[in-house]
Structures are given as structure tokens and as C-alpha cells.
């Protein structure tokens, strides 16, 4: 069916997949998934609330952490409606236009999160390599401009993907591999020439996550060189410990992302369940674990959480 014929006949729709191999998605999957979404919302909203209300956290590092929480929330909430539809209400059909909108949100917030991780690497680089210039370089106005640039880049790089795929004809099976829409997954169902779409998709990935990962690598090479030049062992350990949370966030984000990308290119022979689990890990694991990692490894946030819990306990005791 061509793009021009869609409006003349029935509207084009995709079929979302719950658990591969099962004709009807099992309702027992809804509970753990809902728990993950609730944990993600609670963790990231708590971080945002603590950073907003505690003036001691109004520093560049925590402003960037709040941007990471916003990106995590956006990435996961983009898939929440279709997750509930598939696993809770057994509704697997999604209109083509709605699928494109969801795809744009997912890939935009993924690019935004990658950009925020680069900004956080630069923050750690300045803090360790140029500590005397930290306050003068990383001002609030600069952080605001960087945040706006990251969000604009994330949106602009994905919009052409939506325009290109909107013009594609779909005449094969319309069953997607996940309970949400990804560009590679939608493109694999197109029956037209996908070379332009594939080329732009690859270019977009290189210009975002490719350059971002290279920038992060260069930042940490200079950070490690600076740390290795510190004579005092305790001072060296203290300097490196300030990077632990960010390094964990990098691993949590990039390992599932790289695995999912390789799976789409090289893992055609693997089971659909493997594709589903890795895609779910890419979208749900970073938003769930990032607040836990930063709450556990960052002393200021851990202290504020303990103060909050003590206040709640005192109020209940009264």
C-alpha cells in the first residue's frame, strides 16, 4: 500500500508485540513493568525535587543531573502508554502517525541523554583538571545554554527521520518487534527503497552518539592523566571517586545501546525474545538505575534523602 493510498482506504497501523511467542500478552508482565515505571518516576522526581528545593545543590553538576533525570523521564514515559495498552488492556494496534510520534520522542530523548552525559563528562574534566577555574567556567548561564543546545540538537536530528519514514510505503507484515516504535524496527517493514533512510539514520547516530562517545573518551583520557599525576594516594582516590557516578551512568546507558544496535545489524538469527529484552533494558534500565546510583554514590544527595526520611519519621511519630 503506497503512502498516497493510505488516506483513501483504511488508515495504516502497526501491531505491537508483547512477549514473542505468545499470541496474547500475558497480564503477569504488566505488574513488574509497572513497578519499574513507578520506581523510575519516583527516583527521578525525587532527584528533581531535592535539587530544586536544596540551595546547596544549585551547582553545575546537579543542574546537569537534573537534565539527566528529565531525559530519563522523557525516554521512559514515551513508552508508557503503549506498554499499558499492550500488557494491561491487550490493545496491540497503533496508528502509523502515533508510531512516528512515539519514535521521535524515544530517539530525541535518547540523543538528549547522550548529550547530557557529554556535558557531565566536561563538568568532571573541569572539576579535576582545572579546579581553580571551575566556578568561572561553568556558570549558570553557560549550563542553561548548553542544556538548550542539547535539547534542540536532540529534536532537530530526529525530525528528518520522521519526515523520511512518513513517505515510505509499507506493504509487508506490520508486526513490530517491541511494544513501542523504533526507527530500525519500522524501517525493516518498509517495502520501498530504504537506502536514504538508512544512510541518514546512520549519519544521525554517528553525529550524536558517535561524537558524544568520542568526546567522553577524550575527556576521561585527560582526567586519568591528571589523576595519575597526583602524588598523594588519598587525593588521587578522592579525585577518581567524584567520577564513579558518571562512569556508572555511562555504562548503564551505552552498553544496552551498543548491544541493541549490534543486534539490529548482526543479530537477525537471534530469538525475538532476545531483541525484546535488550530493547527493554535500553529504555528502562538507565532511567531506573541512574537515580539509585547517584543517590548511593553522591554524599550530598544521600544526606538530603536521609534528612527527608527523618522528617517524615518525626512527623509520623508526632
Give the mean pLDDT of 169-190.
Answer: 84
In the prediction, which pLDDT does 147 show? 95
* Residue 281 covered by a domain: yes
Q: How is residue 238 annotated by DSSP?
A: H
pLDDT reported for residue 276: 75
Dump pLDDT digits (tens) for 210-237: 999 999 999 999 999 999 988 888 888 8
Given a contact cutoff of 8 angstroms between Cβ atoms, the answer to whether 267 and 275 are in contact is yes
CA angle 200, 203, 207 (to 5 degrees): 140
Residue 5 lies in a domain: no
The parent domain of residue 167 ranges over 13-317
Structural domains in the chain (count): 1
* C-alpha cell at position 235: 587525593
Which residue, among 251, 243, 237, 238, has the nearest Cα to 282 in the 3D structure? 251
In this model, does residue 260 exceed pLDDT 80? no
The confidence score (pLDDT) of residue 317 equals 57
Q: Is 80 helix (H, G, I), strand (E, B) or coil?
A: helix
Question: Is the pLDDT at 318 greater than 80, yes or no?
Answer: no
Query: 118 pLDDT exceeds 90?
Result: yes
Among 34, 121, 124, CA closest to 86: 34
DSSP 8-state secondary structure symbol assigned to residue 4? T
Q: 20 and 274 in contact (C-beta within 8 Å)?
A: no
Q: Among all chains, which residue has been given the C-alpha cell 507484515?
A: 173
* 14: enclosing H helix or E strand: strand 13-15
- Indicate if the pLDDT at residue 305 is higher than 70: yes
In a domain, 6, yes or no: no
Determine the pLDDT at residue 266: 65
| Predicted local confidence at residue 8, as pLDDT | 46
Query: Whole-model pTM?
Result: 0.89
Query: Contact, 36 vs 120, CB < 8 A?
Result: no
Q: What's the mean pLDDT in 147-153?
A: 96
Question: CA–CA separation, 316 vs 92, rounded Å?
Answer: 44
CA distance 86 to 17: 8
Question: What is residue 98's predicted lDDT score, i.e. its pLDDT?
Answer: 94
Helix ranges, 130-182 (H): 134-137, 140-166
Query: CB–CB of 12/170 below 8 Å?
Result: yes
User: Does residue 8 fall inside a structural domain?
Assistant: no
CA pair distance 137, 169, nearest whole angstrom: 50
DSSP 8-state symbol, 93: E
Residue 15 has pLDDT above 70, yes or no: yes
Least confidently predicted of 18-27, 101-110, 278-287, 302-311: 18-27
Place 40 in a pLDDT band, splitting at 50, 70 and 90.
Answer: very high
Separation CA 68–CA 112 (nearest Å): 8
Look at the chain and count its residues: 318
What per-residue confidence (pLDDT) applies to 264?
Answer: 65
**2 pLDDT band (50/70/90 cuts)?**
very low
**Rounded distance between C-alpha atoms, residue 21 and residue 309, angstroms:** 44
Of 45-54, 161-170, 272-281, where does mean pLDDT reach its minimum?
Answer: 272-281
- CA-based torsion, 53, 59, 62, 67: positive or negative: positive
Q: How far apart are CA 237 and CA 245, in angstroms?
A: 14
Residue 172 belongs to a domain: yes
Query: Is 268 among the domain residues?
Result: yes
**255: confidence class by pLDDT, cuts 50, 70, 90:** confident
Question: Confidence class of residue 32 from pLDDT cuts 50, 70 and 90?
Answer: confident
pLDDT of residue 160: 94
Compute how many other C-beta atoms are within 10 angstroms of the C-beta atom of residue 126.
18
> Distance (Å, rounded) from C-alpha 241 to C-alpha 297?
9
Element (H, E) at 62: helix 60-77
Give the 3-state secondary structure of residue 23: coil
The reply to whether 2 falls in a domain is no
Q: Give 46-79 pLDDT, tens digit per residue.
A: 999 999 988 888 999 999 999 999 999 999 999 9
Mean pLDDT in residue range 279-308: 83
Q: For the CA atoms of 55, 56, 59, 63, what is the dihedral angle to 10 degrees?
A: -60
CB-based contacts of 253: which residues, under 8 Å, 6+ apart? Answer: 113, 114, 117, 286
Query: By 3-state DSSP, what share of the chain in percent is helix, strand and coil, each rounded to 5?
Result: 75, 0, 20
CATH of the domain at 224: 1.20.1070.10
Does pLDDT of 6 surpass 60? no
* Residue 194 resides in a domain: yes
Which band of pLDDT confidence, cut at 50, 70 and 90, is reported for residue 139?
Answer: very high
The three cell numbers of residue 264 are 539490529
Amino acid at each position: 500500500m503506497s503512502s498516497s493510498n493510505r488516506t483513501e482506504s483504511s488508515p495504516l497501523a502497526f501491531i505491537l508485540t508483547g512477549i514473542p511467542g505468545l499470541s496474547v500478552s500475558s497480564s503477569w508482565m504488566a505488574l513488574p513493568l509497572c513497578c519499574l515505571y513507578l520506581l523510575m518516576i519516583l527516583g527521578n522526581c525525587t532527584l528533581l525535587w531535592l535539587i530544586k528545593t536544596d540551595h546547596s545543590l544549585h551547582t553545575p553538576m546537579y543542574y546537569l543531573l537534573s537534565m539527566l533525570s528529565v531525559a530519563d523521564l522523557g525516554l521512559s514515559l514515551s513508552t508508557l502508554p503503549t506498554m499499558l495498552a499492550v500488557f494491561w488492556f491487550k490493545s496491540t494496534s497503533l496508528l502509523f502517525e502515533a508510531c512516528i510520534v512515539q519514535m521521535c520522542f524515544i530517539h530525541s530523548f535518547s540523543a538528549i541523554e547522550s548529550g547530557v552525559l557529554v556535558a557531565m563528562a566536561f563538568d568532571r574534566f573541569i572539576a579535576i583538571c582545572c579546579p581553580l577555574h571551575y566556578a568561572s567556567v561553568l556558570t549558570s548561564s553557560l549550563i542553561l545554554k548548553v542544556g538548550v543546545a542539547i535539547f534542540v540538537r536532540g529534536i532537530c536530528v530526529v525530525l528528518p527521520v520522521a519526515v523520511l519514514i512518513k513517505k515510505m510505503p509499507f506493504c509487508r507484515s506490520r508486526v513490530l518487534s517491541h511494544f513501542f516504535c523504533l526507527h530500525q524496527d519500522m524501517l525493516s517493514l518498509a517495502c520501498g527503497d530504504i537506502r536514504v533512510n538508512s544512510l541518514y539514520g546512520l549519519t544521525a547516530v554517528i553525529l550524536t552518539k558517535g561524537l558524544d562517545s568520542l568526546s567522553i573518551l577524550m575527556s576521561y583520557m585527560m582526567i586519568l592523566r591528571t589523576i595519575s599525576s597526583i602524588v598523594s594516594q588519598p587525593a588521587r582516590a578522592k579525585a577518581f571517586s567524584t567520577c564513579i557516578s558518571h562512569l556508572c551512568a555511562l555504562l548503564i546507558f551505552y552498553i544496552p545501546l551498543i548491544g541493541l544496535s549490534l543486534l539490529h545489524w548482526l543479530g537477525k538469527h537471534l530469538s525475538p525474545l532476545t531483541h525484546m529484552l535488550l530493547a527493554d533494558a535500553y529504555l528502562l534500565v538507565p532511567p531506573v538505575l541512574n537515580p539509585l546510583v547517584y543517590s548511593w554514590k553522591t554524599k550530598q544527595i544521600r544526606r538530603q534523602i536521609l534528612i527527608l526520611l527523618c522528617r517524615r519519621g518525626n512527623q509520623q511519630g508526632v
